[in-house]
Amino acid sequence: MSLKKAAPALVLPLLIIGGIQSGIFTATEAGILAVVYALIYGVFTGQLRFANSWRFFANLRSRPRRS
């Protein structure tokens, strides 16, 4: 049961490493893939809601930059 719940999260490192090693994409593209995969996973599992996400990004824009 626990492995079933963890399977989608365990697939991500396999996609990243497998894609880089096989030459399908570069490390930068693998990072983009990881972000997109995590966003899609979060939305479909209900752990990520767009209303909260927009609020989070709006707060990031209003914070002063560190130097």
User: In 1-67, where does DSSP find H-type helix?
Assistant: 2-22, 27-45, 50-62
Task: Using the predicted structure, report yes or no on whether residue 39 has a pLDDT greater than 80.
Answer: yes
- pLDDT attached to residue 24: 93
CA distance 25 to 11: 16
Q: How many Cα atoms sit within 13 Å of 40 on the Cβ side?
A: 9
Average pLDDT over residues 52-56: 74
Position 44 confidence tier, pLDDT thresholds 50, 70, 90: confident
